Amino acid sequence: MVYNAIGTRENIKIIDSAQYGGVKIDVMEYQRLLGSTNPFSASDLYFMAKQNIKVRQVAVYLTKDKVSVEPGAMSYFQGPLEMVSGVTAGNALGRLFSGAVTGEGTAQPEYSGSGMLVLEPSFQHFLLLQLDHEDIVVDKGMFYCAQGSVTVKPIMQRSVSAALGGGEGLFQISLSGTGLVVLECPVPSCEIDVIELNNDTLRVDGNFAVLRSGNLQFTVERSAKTLLGSAVSGEGLVNVYRGTGTVWLAPTIKVYNTINAARAVGGSTKSMNMNTSNSK
């Protein structure tokens, strides 16, 4: 049986798509929200559309393959797909611990076989990647979906400075192998700077690096060689990436955090410090 793509309706646009092996993934975007019957929400919906605040959804088409997803992300599926939870009596405690420290679900349900799996609609942005014998580390909470040939596991920060001062927490998520991966991201791909390092060093003021190659060394260090220099520069500590690989930076996360913080206190962004460290 052939499962047809659902992103063919006039109001639904496929904004990204990839296929590898027996897995095809579409990232869909609803161009407008047309179902509201409340006139008071009309202005909100209008300005949301103008600012690209749109509903997006991920559809996965399996042909004798498998995929793991973030718990609670499934919306519906069609066909003879088999779902297993990934939690057994032997690994339940470890799964609970890793879920608590990484911010990810306790275990990623796995769907295998042939059929169509559609995940929950969301205002988040989705990054669709294809790994080719690669190892990447992503910010906590970003994992959304991965082909079964990709290994998803929590990893501990390699240095004490990164664990205590990097703003990423003690654990992050490692994705390794070959296959398709979908990540949830607070900003769209057009606002991500991809930095290539070739035996080089990258220093970042804040934790807005959403992805890095797994082989890169990650530490937290003073921005200058001396404490006085760091204090005078106003930068203090910075996240440092060394080696050969790739770092994905999302600098505009700071801007959105500033806007959200100002709105929360009823103030203006002019009075807020743009140099806030955060990722999600």
Instruction: For 231-269, write each residue's pLDDT tens digit.
Output: 444 457 899 999 999 999 999 998 998 888 887 776 665
Q: In the predicted model, what is the mean pLDDT of residues 53-78? A: 95
Asked if the structure places residue 280 within a domain, the reply is yes
Closest CA to 28 of 44, 45, 11: 11
Asked if the structure places residue 229 within a domain, the reply is yes
- Say how far apart CA 144 and CA 57 lie, in whole Å: 11
pLDDT of 267: 63
pLDDT of 101: 52
Whether the Cβ atoms of residue 65 and residue 145 lie closer than 8 Å to each other: no
pLDDT of 4: 64
pLDDT of 269: 58
Asked if the structure places residue 223 within a domain, the reply is yes
Confidence of residue 196 (pLDDT cuts 50, 70, 90): very high
Q: Which range of residues forms the domain containing residue 255?
A: 192-280
Q: Could you give the C-alpha distances from 66 to 25, 84, 148, in angstroms and in order? A: 12, 11, 5
Asked if the structure places residue 152 within a domain, the reply is no
Asked if the structure places residue 106 within a domain, the reply is no
* Count of the separate structural domains present in the chain: 1
196: its two tokens? 């290539």
Asked if the structure places residue 175 within a domain, the reply is no
pLDDT of 259: 87
Per-residue pLDDT at 100 exceeds 70:
no
CA 180 to centroid of chain Cα atoms: 14
pLDDT of 49: 85
pLDDT of 231: 46
Closest CA to 97 of 105, 86, 89, 88: 105
pLDDT of 106: 52
- Say how far apart CA 74 and CA 58 lie, in whole Å: 10
Asked if the structure places residue 100 within a domain, the reply is no
Asked if the structure places residue 41 within a domain, the reply is no
